[in-house]
Amino acid sequence: MSAQTATPTAQSQSLATGTIGTALMHIEHAHTGEGSWERAHTQVHKAAADPVSAADEACLYFGAPALAFVLHTAQADGAPRYAAATERIDTAVRRLAHRRLDLAHARIDRAQPAAFAEYDLLHGLTGIGAHLLHHDPADDVLGRILTYLVRLTRPLVIDGRRLPGWWVHHDPQRGTSAHFPGGHANLGIAHGITGPLTLLAQAQLRQITVDGQSEAIELICAWLDSWRSENDTGTWWPQWITSQELRNSRTDQSGPQRPSWCYGTPGLARAQQLAALTTADTDRQRMAEQAFADCLADPNQLARVHDPGLCHGWAGLTQTANRTATDALTPAIAHHLPFLNDRLDQEQADTEGFLDGQAGVTLAQMTATQGLPPVTGWDACLLIN
């Protein structure tokens, strides 16, 4: 089990779709007594059979950070499982994070737009920061990541236009298309500014702070407020903002879309709930929680959920609802949990992976069935824990 820059097989190194995600499920099973450590060990060794990528593209969902996240969950009960391997992989993750931070700051210095791969939860520094916050919070690299995210909130001026600091040069599929000339600003928790907001808020709740952190949280929340909309079913936010929408100060999205963890009201509401807890802003907390409850009460929004997975299916919706209800001021979200938990219990994915497959569905079903937070804290990689 070594961290190298060699190209590994994607199937073994991917938390989203590969063996690492399956190992995470078996580790949770072993901790709860629903499975054996022998089976969990088999999956971990399978995931680490090839050289582990610590190349600049490695992230929370691929390579060294993904494996580090999973190895740390095996130690959730205090037992020093994989101690030597964890120490080696942690060193690789720290070095990777420092390299990626240097590249990110250099990009900002050049006044160029960002990319998802630089900052977001799935591929970028927010994801690496989420791992460090839960498993290595004392290391100085976490502080560097928080400082970078604070800097990310400062406006960019490109060709005379003032853009949000997290403006990306590509479309939501990370390509180029006529609908997104000049790129876009993303609001989702998986790829957008809601991910950095959540990490900044969670760190502050744990009293881990850097200069400008509170102001950055307030700035992001104010920006989300500027794009918040209301209709007869409640509060909602657009998935992204194009150049034209930014010029018009108005979204072309006609209403709320799928109530998913990744892009929908659930992820945005949980992020703002956590931000509100950080700033003791009960008005924002009530607004965010009511927005979540309203989307759960809207049959038209629920009808848009067509698959079981964590990213944009019933598992992610239910896990986010369970976490949000725990911290809520009122039982409005908890009122919907029996339906969500029962609905999730009927789901089965066609694939084995974590983000869209059965591993993630099973983990969310365990939370729903047991009525307890995961022993491993596995949903930290969704930034809802």
CA distances from 353 to 60, 71, 195, 348, 358 (A): 15, 17, 22, 12, 6
Q: Is residue 53 part of a domain?
A: yes
C-beta of residue 291 within 8 angstroms of C-beta of residue 338? no
Query: Could you count the other beta carbons within 10 Å of the beta carbon of residue 128?
Result: 28
Instruction: Tell me the average pLDDT across 15-24.
Output: 96
Closest by CA position to 233, among listed 309, 298, 152: 298
Contacts of 295 (CB under 8 A, 6+ apart): 233, 234, 236, 256, 259, 264, 265, 266, 269, 301
Element (H, E) at 162: strand 161-163
Closest by CA position to 47, among listed 30, 24, 79: 24
Residue 74: is its pLDDT beyond 70? yes
Residue 154: is its pLDDT beyond 90? yes
pLDDT band at residue 9 using 50, 70 and 90 as cut-offs: low
Contacts of 62 (CB under 8 A, 6+ apart): 10, 13, 14, 15, 16, 53, 123
Token pair, residue 115, equals: 């990319």
| CA atoms of 14 and 58, how far apart (whole Å) | 10
Q: Give phi and psi for 98, each to the nearest 5.
A: -60, -40
Q: Is residue 366 part of a domain?
A: yes
C-beta of residue 150 within 8 angstroms of C-beta of residue 210? yes
Closest by CA position to 158, among listed 203, 202, 113: 113
| CA atoms of 242 and 233, how far apart (whole Å) | 25
C-beta of residue 125 within 8 angstroms of C-beta of residue 119? yes
pLDDT score at 6: 40
Q: Is residue 2 part of a domain?
A: no
Closest by CA position to 136, among listed 90, 96, 169, 104: 90
Q: Residue 34 has what DSSP assignment?
A: S
Where are the alpha helices (H) located in the chain, listed in sequence order?
Answer: 10-13, 19-32, 37-47, 64-73, 83-109, 116-119, 125-135, 140-152, 194-205, 213-226, 243-248, 265-279, 282-296, 299-302, 314-326, 337-345, 358-370
Q: Give phi and psi for 184, each to the nearest 5.
A: -165, 170
Q: Is residue 370 part of a domain?
A: yes
What is the value of pTM for the model shown?
A: 0.96
Residue 43: is its pLDDT beyond 90? yes
Contacts of 237 (CB under 8 A, 6+ apart): 187, 224, 227, 228, 229, 265, 268
Q: Give phi and psi for 333, each to the nearest 5.
A: -75, -45
Q: Is residue 4 part of a domain?
A: no
| CA atoms of 330 and 285, how far apart (whole Å) | 10
Query: What total of structural domains would you count in the chain?
Result: 1
CATH of the domain at 61: 1.50.10.20
Q: Is residue 58 part of a domain?
A: yes
Instruction: Tell me the average pLDDT across 163-173.
Output: 97
pLDDT score at 10: 64
Tell me the β-bridge partners of 200. Answer: none
Mean pLDDT of the chain: 96
pLDDT score at 12: 79
> Per residue in 221-268, pLDDT tens?
999 999 999 999 999 999 999 999 999 999 999 999 999 999 999 999
Where are the alpha helices (H) located in 194-234, listed in sequence order?
Answer: 194-205, 213-226
pLDDT score at 177: 92
> Per residue in 300-351, pLDDT tens?
999 999 999 999 999 999 999 999 999 999 999 999 999 999 999 999 999 9
> Per residue in 179-235, pLDDT tens?
999 999 999 999 999 999 999 999 999 999 999 999 999 999 999 999 999 999 999
pLDDT band at residue 5 using 50, 70 and 90 as cut-offs: very low
C-beta of residue 28 within 8 angstroms of C-beta of residue 376? yes
Q: Is residue 371 part of a domain?
A: yes
Q: Is residue 320 part of a domain?
A: yes
Q: Domain residues for 313?
A: 9-382
**Dihedral of the alpha carbons of 235, 240, 246, 251, in degrees to the nearest 10:** -40
